[in-house]
Structure 1
């Protein structure tokens, strides 16, 4: 019975190797290429590259990651927001099936922590404000549409669809030569393996196992090169007029550890400790446009629900220990709590706040420096209108793909003067920095 099992396993391996060869690998790639090439040339929304190649192309174009809810085609990405002091590390979960399909859904889970406050506690003798949260995000990614120039004139050499068909065919046959050479060289190498090199093994079984592993790696390498080379050529030649897509996302920010605040209704009232639980739910929809002539645009609309409080709404006056003393604070009993901390003066309340947010990011063609605008209108107890004006910068690495993203911005609080009418406009602004770093494996 045991001999029968091993014999069956051996023949199964042989069948697997025979089924997988250089010709079969290229047949799959040529099949994908044929589907793309056979699309009507007059069809304005034909596909210039394969679905997996478009995933790689979008990974480059959406490489601008400044917030934890932004779209990233990498398995991991890190974001830091100086205005909140929060560092967030996210992980994307992707089910790989090996087929030429576009990424349509992404589940991302992340952990955020207030590292700015932690650094302050370590180096500036300030007290910790424990802030640790879990972020869960689910994205639905829409169909990618490509519009070409010259599609109504098939005979015209300027037809961008025809140009991509020709360039893609060159990639296919270049890969064919490369795979055939690798296959021939590898077979010569394993045929030179002697039974002395694999003692206590059947030499044919060993060669079969080696070939099986070789073809698996060869297939992965060929598919990766086919996808990446198409994306690189589309980026280099700009053989498209407009590429558009969209994605919608649902995000939940769940506090795991949250801070307490030292609060007094007035300078003559007792200082008390107040806790917050800033649970947040957000739904957003983003439209993405990449024009070969005018550049790249991200436009996002978001709706948010936050378990808010007076401190987060900037309705309280922030004072340090010395300021509290100079202003005539009378709670000497609890004064020690302020020596390395901050107090907030005013009526502390907790309430639910809904808000609508509009955000636009623009990069000119060929530029890694852009401009961004954000407006946020809050509803509920405080109808705050906040804004942000930023300069996003995308730094690329030696492989010419996004490596680090920076955004220097100016924040504008309470633009409509709903809370502190007496404060000057300059006192309601702040400068901040956002950082985004995609890393690990590219999903395609």
Structure 2
């Protein structure tokens, strides 16, 4: 009851001072956020330990320890993922903008492009024509409600640490506001803004400076909370989950030369590898056991006899009955990184269904490099890939072999979007 009364009073004061753009109004906004989180029973729509925006940042850091494919989650505005085995480079841009001062991220749309950049090197080495592929990527992601568990002692500790962060920022806000006013008072109307009304010019500058200070302090408050929790491990388990639906729309497609029989005139075929994906991931961040990702996914691809290894390979062409068909497949993946470790292990298994029914697997060793802010900056995954474990593909089809060594590189960049 006391907590609810405090929130009501702070909210009322905030409404009265809205538009005033004073240090006090900004401080009241931050106090309102803090009051909604404090204690063992957070306000509706809030969470234990962290404000909504701080929880967004904590999720971004936790999920950022694995970025190996375009279907993986990143909350940064932009990301690049390169796959050495497939020879592809994918670029994504997140369109979501923060909905408010302390809003949870729940869904967002991403778009990008993918190109088979590796074919240029292979073609030059083999002395053949380029076989370019290029297409658009579109992905929609839904993030479920996170679940935070902590002991009473951990909750009290985080309340105290968060209060310390808040009061430190209050002092900083007042100092910065005073510095801004000093700077505005030093403006010489004759030399600095000739021909302008000094009062109006200072008012415009003050509004911009106040807006910049507000954005900076709100983000700093959220970032300091997330960083403090990550450093002190004052939680038991932070559980997150998200679901994404993505589509790859080919624009420049792969071409094949096929003949119905040996000696017959070849025909140029144009593949159209339209690809749909549905992925669901759960992430458990434990203060004792580390990070555990569990993913299940389903793909649906417009496939063909050449890519499905159903035709005989003859030089640069193929012999046999060329057909196009749908290939669904199911995937499951586990990823584990110990506490305070930047190196982990992953295992993925994929089962194709239908005319192509090969079973593939990937054993990976993800490594994340962090920046000076202790945030994931570059993700590497060294992989051992196992193809067609059941040996369903026949000889002479151009199948490259059952084992390959690969590398993926994921780089999130620009600012965190939320």
With normalisation by structure 1, the TM-score equals: 0.84
Query: 1:208 is paired with a residue of what secondary structure?
Result: helix
User: Are residues 182 and 71 of structure 1, via their aligned partners in 2, closer, same or farther at CA, if it must alter by over 3 Å?
Assistant: same
Find the structure with the greater CA-based Rg.
1
**Which of residues 167, 171, 179 is equivalent to 2:173?**
179
**Which of residues 205, 229, 235 is equivalent to 2:230?**
235
User: Are residues 270 and 74 of structure 1, via their aligned partners in 2, closer, same or farther at CA, if it must alter by over 3 Å?
Assistant: same
Residue matched to 1:114? 116
Residue matched to 2:129? 127
Query: 1:388 is paired with a residue of what secondary structure?
Result: strand
Provide, for residues 114-155 of structure 1, a one-character-per-residue CA deviation record: whole Å limited to 9, x for no partner: 10012334565331112011111001101111111x33xxxx
Q: CA deviation at 1:270?
A: 4.2
Residue matched to 2:49? 48
User: Are residues 353 and 397 of structure 1, via their aligned partners in 2, closer, same or farther at CA, if it must alter by over 3 Å?
Assistant: same
**Which of residues 70, 73, 76 is equivalent to 2:75?**
73
Provide, for residues 375-415 of structure 1, a one-character-per-residue CA deviation record: whole Å limited to 9, x for no partner: 11111112211111111111112222111111111111111
Number of corresponding residues: 397
Partners in 2 of 1:414 and 1:264 — Cα distance? Answer: 26
Residue matched to 2:415? 441
Query: 2:401 is paired with a residue of what secondary structure?
Result: helix
Unaligned runs of 5+ in 1: 1-14, 152-158, 325-341
Q: CA deviation at 1:344?
A: 3.5
Residue matched to 1:11? none
TM-align CA RMSD: 2.3
Does the 8 Å contact 2:18/2:25 carry over to 1? Answer: no
Partners in 2 of 1:248 and 1:67 — Cα distance? Answer: 15
User: Are residues 168 and 317 of structure 1, via their aligned partners in 2, closer, same or farther at CA, if it must alter by over 3 Å?
Assistant: farther
**Which of residues 374, 395, 403 is equivalent to 2:377?**
403
Mapping 1:126-165, distance limit 5 Å: 126-148=128-150, 150-151=151-152, 159-165=153-159
Does the 8 Å contact 2:143/2:242 carry over to 1? Answer: yes
Provide, for residues 79-124 of structure 1, a one-character-per-residue CA deviation record: whole Å limited to 9, x for no partner: 1112221111111111333320111001011111110012334565
Residue matched to 2:11? none
**Which of residues 260, 279, 282 is equivalent to 1:284?**
279
Q: CA deviation at 1:346?
A: 4.6
User: Are residues 296 and 164 of structure 1, via their aligned partners in 2, closer, same or farther at CA, if it must alter by over 3 Å?
Assistant: same
Residue matched to 2:249? 254
Provide, for residues 319-341 of structure 1, a one-character-per-residue CA deviation record: whole Å limited to 9, x for no partner: 6xxxx4xxxxxxxxxxxxxxxxx
Query: 2:257 is paired with a residue of what secondary structure?
Result: strand
Partners in 1 of 2:285 and 2:268 — Cα distance? Answer: 50
Residue matched to 1:375? 349
Residue matched to 2:367? 393
Partners in 2 of 1:350 and 1:217 — Cα distance? Answer: 56
User: Are residues 129 and 422 of structure 1, via their aligned partners in 2, closer, same or farther at CA, if it must alter by over 3 Å?
Assistant: closer
Unaligned runs of 5+ in 2: 1-15
Query: 1:195 is paired with a residue of what secondary structure?
Result: coil
User: Are residues 22 and 76 of structure 1, via their aligned partners in 2, closer, same or farther at CA, if it must alter by over 3 Å?
Assistant: same
Partners in 2 of 1:192 and 1:82 — Cα distance? Answer: 58
Query: 1:392 is paired with a residue of what secondary structure?
Result: strand
Partners in 1 of 2:215 and 2:75 — Cα distance? Answer: 18
Mapping 1:422-441, distance limit 5 Å: 427-441=401-415
Partners in 1 of 2:265 and 2:187 — Cα distance? Answer: 85
Q: CA deviation at 1:191?
A: 1.8
Query: Does 1:225 pair with 2:220?
Result: yes
Partners in 2 of 1:353 and 1:266 — Cα distance? Answer: 25
Query: 2:122 is paired with a residue of what secondary structure?
Result: helix
With normalisation by structure 2, the TM-score equals: 0.89
Query: 1:19 is paired with a residue of what secondary structure?
Result: coil
Residue matched to 1:244? 239
Query: Does 1:350 pair with 2:345?
Result: no
Partners in 1 of 2:244 and 2:47 — Cα distance? Answer: 27
Partners in 2 of 1:19 and 1:38 — Cα distance? Answer: 30
Partners in 2 of 1:351 and 1:112 — Cα distance? Answer: 22
Does the 8 Å contact 2:40/2:155 carry over to 1? Answer: no
Residue matched to 1:366? 340
Query: 1:171 is paired with a residue of what secondary structure?
Result: helix
Query: 1:28 is paired with a residue of what secondary structure?
Result: helix
Provide, for residues 194-213 of structure 1, a one-character-per-residue CA deviation record: whole Å limited to 9, x for no partner: 32132111111122112111
